[in-house]
Amino acid sequence: MEKTVQLYEGKAKKVFATNDENLCIVSYKDDATAFNGLKKGTIMGKGAINNRVTNHLMKLLEKNGIPTHFVEELSDRETVVKKVSIVPLEVIVRNIAAGSLAKRLGLSEGTKMSRTVLEFCYKDDALGDPMVNDYHILAMGFATEEELKLISDYSLKINKILSDYLKDVNIELIDFKLEFGKTSDGTIVLADEISPDTCRFWDSTTGEKLDKDRFRRDLGGVEDAYNEILKRLLGE
């Protein structure tokens, strides 16, 4: 497998084409941004941790019937994935009120909700990823009705698999963001990453935040939190 041209550079990852037209290589960076790029920094070792945690969780999901883009971990920071066109939606799954939902609805963080909440945002940096509903998604053609149904069903199933798994290592899955992609034959697969950058992980006993909120909110102990997640999930 050989990297060829760089296809994309995002805030936390680069994506390269390869000599196989159906495969790409993702390379994870230590760069950290928050608030749509307004806050910038570096979290030492983050790229390697997010790569390994993502792959670990993608393998768990595959084993439980969720199709993903994961193919093979190449190194600490690099992974081979299926080439997909990204569905331009961020799917946010929420179990406990936190972050923007807590703010929007005037709830204190940590408020339990009687059921899981799914939100969709249109992936557009210039617009600040605005929240959209099913009507917007269908009217704008971001996804078809069948795709939206599949994406919603997968997201709720992923929530159940990850929440149960994380409970065993004393982590509560508060909320997280997913992205899906379409392979060349039109199959919808889970893409992007599942890491402390994209999930809120709270210690089940102490409520300590073990995720990117430590960076966003200047809480300190950012690297320690990412290392703690790696340790609890991969035993390292």
* Residues near ligand C5P (CB under 6 A): 90, 92, 98-101, 129, 175-177, 198-200, 212
Q: Smallest gap, in angstroms, from Cβ of residue 25 to ligand C5P?
A: 22
DSSP state of 209: B
- Report how far residue 27's alpha carbon sits from residue 6's, in angstroms, rounded to the nearest whole number: 10
> Longest C-alpha distance within the chain, in Å?
51
Q: Say if CB 173 and CB 199 are below 8 A apart.
A: yes
Q: Smallest gap, in angstroms, from Cβ of residue 154 to ligand C5P?
A: 16
Q: Which is nearer to ligand C5P, 37 or 186 (CB)?
A: 37
Q: Which is nearer to ligand C5P, 69 or 212 (CB)?
A: 212
* 200: Cβ contacts below 8 Å, ≥ 6 apart: 98, 99, 173, 174, 175, 176, 209, 211, 213
Report residue 75 as tokens. Answer: 């190194």
Q: Which is nearer to ligand C5P, 100 or 111 (CB)?
A: 100
- Which residue of the chain is nearest ligand C5P when measured via CB? 99
Q: Smallest gap, in angstroms, from Cβ of residue 159 to ligand C5P?
A: 12
Q: Smallest gap, in angstroms, from Cβ of residue 195 to ligand C5P?
A: 9
Q: Smallest gap, in angstroms, from Cβ of residue 192 to ligand C5P?
A: 9
Name the nearest CA neighbour of 47 among 17, 75, 18: 75
- Report how far residue 109's alpha carbon sits from residue 101's, in angstroms, rounded to the nearest whole number: 9
Q: Which residues pair with 132 in a beta bridge?
A: 120
Q: Which is nearer to ligand C5P, 98 or 229 (CB)?
A: 98
Q: Smallest gap, in angstroms, from Cβ of residue 172 to ligand C5P?
A: 12
Q: Which is nearer to ligand C5P, 22 or 128 (CB)?
A: 128
Q: Which is nearer to ligand C5P, 6 or 100 (CB)?
A: 100
The CA-atom distances, in angstroms, between 92 and each of 39, 110, 149, 232 are 21, 16, 15, 24
